[in-house]
Amino acid sequence: KKSPTRQATSKQNKMGNVPLVVDMPIDPVSGEEKSDNYINVFVPEKGKVKVELSQLLHWSLYEIKQLIGRAQQILHNRDVGRRTFQWITKFSQKTATSIFGHLDDFRKGKIDYYEVVLILIMCSHSHYREKVRFVMKTFDFDGNNTVSDDEMTSMVIAAINGLRRLSNGTYLSNRHLEIVAQSIFAQVDIAAENSVTYPEVIRYVENNIVLMEFMQQFEPSEAVLENSSVFR
């Protein structure tokens, strides 16, 4: 029996291969939309990641850092076209075209840079604690070693959209994505300081069994020593 956190009510798909749009479940008591742990709806079950995207799995954090460095040289915004995707990933033209086509499920000719980075980090060949540290470093845009409300919103939206694309999951509207992000931020920001720290985020992740199990399936069986420059 599937966990209720994985269930969602979807609207009829009338656009062929375009992803379904889902509504957030309604609490039967309050009548309000339930956003707690709704990120779990989009976490692919073990072994359910699309085989066409398998080359996005098991990267090292050092390899991801190198990709980020290449991207920072040429990107002016979050939009990544097919040729740029090929250049920053160093995939062959054939591989890059295939993977890009699966990520660009709305056929816009572009994908979101941060969604790609989140996929790579969450599915990287590293311990979940180092994944969380790297994600926070990536979204700490002002460099103050905490993640603000706005930074967390960007991080959660990129994570949900990235996870959805890994398994051809359903699509959540921007309004609902922001509701989910705000709910998660409220759960993580225990000190109510309008920013979250690494220990607070780790506590949230470790209490989310579905998310933990997903990230841990890509962990090495033994400790991996990463180049220290990864976390600078």
Per-residue pLDDT tens over the stretch 175-231: 888 888 888 899 999 888 999 999 999 999 999 888 888 899 998 876 656 654 555
Q: What pLDDT score does 176 carry? A: 84
Task: Please state, in angstroms and rounded to a whole number, the distance separating the CA atoms of residues 73 and 58.
Answer: 24
Least confident of 23-27, 75-79, 103-107: 23-27
Q: Is-contact 155 139, C-beta < 8 A?
A: yes
| pLDDT digits 0-9 by tens, 35-57 | 445 566 678 876 678 899 999 99
Q: What pLDDT score does 2 carry? A: 38
Q: Is-contact 7 169, C-beta < 8 A?
A: no
- Verdict on whether the full-model pTM lies above 0.85: no
Q: Which of 61, 41, 47 is nearest to 208 (CA)?
A: 41
Indicate if the pLDDT at residue 13 is higher than 60: no
How, if at all, do strands 21-23 and 171-172 pair? parallel
In which band, very low, low, confident or very high, does the pLDDT at 15 lie, cut at 50, 70 and 90?
very low
Q: What pLDDT score does 158 carry? A: 94
Token pair of 147 as six digits: 């993640």
Q: What is the mean pLDDT of residues 26-33?
A: 45
Indicate if the pLDDT at residue 99 is higher than 90: yes
In which band, very low, low, confident or very high, does the pLDDT at 168 lie, cut at 50, 70 and 90?
confident
Q: What is the mean pLDDT of residues 151-155?
A: 94
Q: Which of 214, 221, 222, 49 is nearest to 132 (CA)?
A: 214
Indicate if the pLDDT at residue 14 is higher than 50: no
Q: What pLDDT score does 137 carry? A: 95
The mean pLDDT of the chain is: 82
DSSP lists the bridge partners of residue 112 as 79
- End-to-end, the C-alpha distance of the chain in Å comes to 43
Indicate if the pLDDT at residue 28 is higher than 90: no
Q: What is the mean pLDDT of residues 14-30?
A: 43
| pLDDT digits 0-9 by tens, 116-142 | 999 999 999 999 999 999 999 999 999
Q: What pLDDT score does 131 carry? A: 95
Indicate if the pLDDT at residue 16 is higher than 50: no
Q: What pLDDT score does 47 carry? A: 67
Q: What pLDDT score does 38 carry? A: 58
